Structure 1
C-alpha cells in the first residue's frame, strides 16, 4: 500500500503561484518518479539556465495606454485559441497522478488550452481524445520503421488530433544522472501504451571496448531530415518540428515542409550545457522571419515568462513541469489552477506594460539593453 499522501481535494491558500505547487507535488510522487520528472541531463546546467534566462530579462512598463477591448486571443495552425499557453508533451503522466493524461485533458478542456499528447503517454491517444474537448496535437517519436510511424500518424488523424509535433532533439537519451541515482524504472501499470505491440527500436549494449553509442546500434534508426520531408508528404496535418536551437536547423525545417518550429532543449534533459531556450529564441525568430509560428518551451513558471517569450519572438509557449506539479498535487483541478494563474499573470503584465493584444508585445516591451544571454 502506498504511503504517499492523496491528491489535494482543496487548494490551500498558500498556493499563490505555479511554483507553490512544487512541494505539494514532490511529496505525492515517489523519489524515483520525481527524479524522472524534475531531472535534467548530466550536471543540469541547462535545466537551471532555462529558468535563469527569464530572470535576466526586464519588462518595460508603460502607462496610460488605451487597453479597452484587449485580450490574449491568437490564431495558431488553424486554431483560434483564447490564450497562448499550451500544454507540452510529457510522458508517463500516471507517474504523477492515477488518472494521468485523462486528468490533464480535462483541465485543458476547461481552460481551452491546446494539449500536446506524448507518444509515450500512459493513456491511449484515442482515450485522451474521447476525454478532451480542447484541441489536441500529437507528439511523434519516429519508430524503427516508417510503417510503425505511419500507424501512429493514422491513429492520431482518425482520433481528431489537429497537428503532429515531431521531437527532433532526442535520437538518444541524455545522460540523466539524477534518474540513474534514483534507480528510476516504470512501476507496474505504467507503460508507453501507444507503442504496445510495436517493433522495438533496436540497439542494445555495446561490447566491452567498443564504441558505447555508435557501436550499440541505437542510432541505426535515428530520423533525418528525409524523414521530416516524408512525414510532411504523408499527412495533411501540420507538422511542428520540436527541439530546434540553431537558426540553420530552423531554416532546414522550413525547407522540409514544417508548419511551425518549437524552440526547445527538451527541458534540459538531453544535451547539457546547451543554451537556454529563451537565449536561442531571437535567432530562431529572425531566421523564420514570420513565415511560420514559433513556439517555445523550457523553464516557464510565470505569466511574465510568457510575456518575455512573446516579446522575443514566440507565437505561443508550451508549459511542461509547471502543470505537471499541479497534476501531481491536485489532479485536473491543479492543472486548471496553474493555467489560470499563468494566464492571469500574463494579462496583468500586458496591462501594466501597455500591451492591449498579443500583437503589441514585441522587443519594445522590454527594458532596452536587457541581456538574454548570461
Structure 2
C-alpha cells in the first residue's frame, strides 16, 4: 500500500527516534517482525470467475461488534507519544470507518475517554478493551469493571506475554518508561497499585487456564483470547469460554523464535472448527493480505503499526486514511477474486507461491 509507506516515512521524520523505535521494533534480532510481512508474499490468491457482483458486502459480525469492517485497529500503546490527539483521535477515526478499536491496556488515555470519543463520532461504534490478567485477581476485576462501565463491548485478553519481550531497540535507547507527563492511564488508582507507569502493566508467567475461565465467568462481555499460535491452545480457549481467538505473535515483539502469524492461521481455524470467530494480526499491509487471511479462515484482521504511522503523520485523518485505504484495497481484491462477500473467499483460493495448497 503506497500511501501507507508514505505515512510511515512521514511518521519517522516526525517522531522522537526512541518513540519511533518503540513502535517499529521487535524482539531479539527482529526475525519474526520481518517474517510477519514476508509470510504474506508466500501466498497467492486463486480467483473464481463469473461469480461476482457490482457491489460487495464486506461487513462481518464480530463479538460485540455486528456489521463491523473486516479491519480492526489492534491494541497498541502510548498513542499520545505519536500525536497530541492520542487515543481519542484513533477512536474517532476507527468509529468513522466502521472499524472496531481495541484500546490498549497501556493507553495514554483512560478507557472511558476513548469510548466517549468513539461514540461522539458514531454512537454505535464498538470499542474492545485489551486486558492483561493481573497476578492479583482484584486488580483484574477492577480493570474489567472499568471497561464495562466505559461501554466497551468485548474484552481482548492477551495471553502471549508471561514476561516482557527483549526488545533490542528499546534497550539500546534506554526506553524503559514513559516520559514525564504521560502515564498508562488505565493503570491508575487500582487496588494497591502504583500510578500508571509502563512497568505497572501486569505480565505474569503464572497465568493459567483457570485464570482465563475466571475472567470469562466474571463479566457479561464476550472475551477473546489474543496471542494464540498453537492449535491445541485454540481448542482450550474455546473449552474455557472464549468468544473468539486472535492468532498473533504480538507483532514480533515477544519471542523472536515463533512462526509468522498468518502461517499459524490455518491450523488454528481447523482446531476451532467454526465454534467461534478467529481473527489474526501481524504483517497485514495490503488489501490482498486481508483477502489471504480471510481465505485462510480469519473473520477479520488487526493492524497495529500502520495505525500508529497514520496517527503520527496526520492524526485522526492519517488513521482514517490507513483504515479506509486497506478496506478499499480489500474490496477491490475481493472483486478480482469473484467475491460478493467475505465468506466467498475460501481455503482453496489461497495457494502458495508455487501454486500448491
Structure with the higher fraction of residues in helix conformation: 2
Gaps of 5+ in 2: 120-124, 195-201
Aligned partner of 1:188 in structure 2 is 180
User: 1:299-345: CA deviations, max 9, x gaps?
Assistant: 11111110000000101111110111000000000000111110110
**Mapped contact 2:134–2:203 kept (Cα < 8 A):** no
Give TM-score scaled by structure 1 length.
0.88
1:72-104 deviations in Å (ceiling 9; x for gaps):
011111422242101001011111111110000
Task: Count residues with an aligned counterpart.
Answer: 344
SS at match of 1:181: helix
Tell me the residue number matched to 1:281.
265
Paired with 1:272 and 1:235, the residues of 2 have a C-alpha distance of: 34
Taking the aligned partners of 1:82 and 1:229, their CA distance within structure 2 comes to: 27
SS in 1 for 2:225: strand
Structure 1 equivalent of residue 52 of structure 2: 66
User: Contact (CA 8 Å) 1:70, 1:357: kept in 2 or not?
Assistant: yes
Give SS of 1:164's match.
Answer: strand
**Pairing partner for 1:158 from 149, 158, 163:** 149
Task: Return 236-245 or 66-75, whichever deviates more.
Answer: 66-75
| Partner Cα distance (1:26, 1:305) in 2 | 24
Correspondence 1:223-242 to 2 at 5 A: 223-242=207-226
The CA deviation at 1:131 is 0.8
User: What corresponds to 1:26 in structure 2?
Assistant: 12
1:214 aligns with: none
Residue-by-residue CA offset, 1:204-247 (whole Å, 9 max, x unaligned): xxxxxxxxxxxxxx976732111101111111100000000000
Q: Could you say what secondary structure the match of 1:127 adopts?
A: helix
Give the equivalent residue in structure 1 for 2:104: 118
Seen in structure 2, the aligned counterparts of structure 1 residues 329 and 256 have a Cα distance that, compared at 3 Å, is: same
* Structure 2 residue 23 is matched with structure 1 residue 37: yes
Q: Distance in 1 between matches of 2:252 and 2:266?
A: 19
Counterpart of 1:42 in 2: which secondary structure?
coil
RMSD: 2.0
Runs of 4+ off more than 6 Å? 218-221
Answer yes or no: is the 8 Å Cα contact 2:249–2:258 preserved in 1.
Answer: yes
Deviation of 1:65 after TM superposition, in Å, equals 2.9
Alignment of 1:95-244 (within 5 A): 95-133=81-119, 134-184=125-175, 185-198=177-190, 222-244=206-228
TM-score normalised by structure 2 residue count: 0.92
